[in-house]
Amino acid sequence: MTCTCWLKLDNRVVDDGPCEFICCTETW
């Protein structure tokens, strides 16, 4: 799963899939 950036405070996903960190670019 790959995720780029999302707002942790708003809990809204900007790119794809859930992410624990703010702005992460790794393949889960």
Which residues pair with residue 11 across a beta bridge? none
- Our count of domains for the chain comes to 1
Q: Residue 16 has which token pair?
A: 């794809």
Strand-pairing partners, residue 6, are: 13
* Residue 5 near residue 22, CB atoms below 8 Å: yes
pLDDT at 28: 47
Of 2, 4, 27, nearest to 12 by C-alpha is 4
Predicted pLDDT at 19: 55
Reported as a single tens digit per residue, the pLDDT across 1-28 is 455 565 555 555 555 555 555 555 554 4
- pLDDT on residue 2: 55
Domain range for 2 is 1-28
Match 């780029």 to its residue by tokens. 4
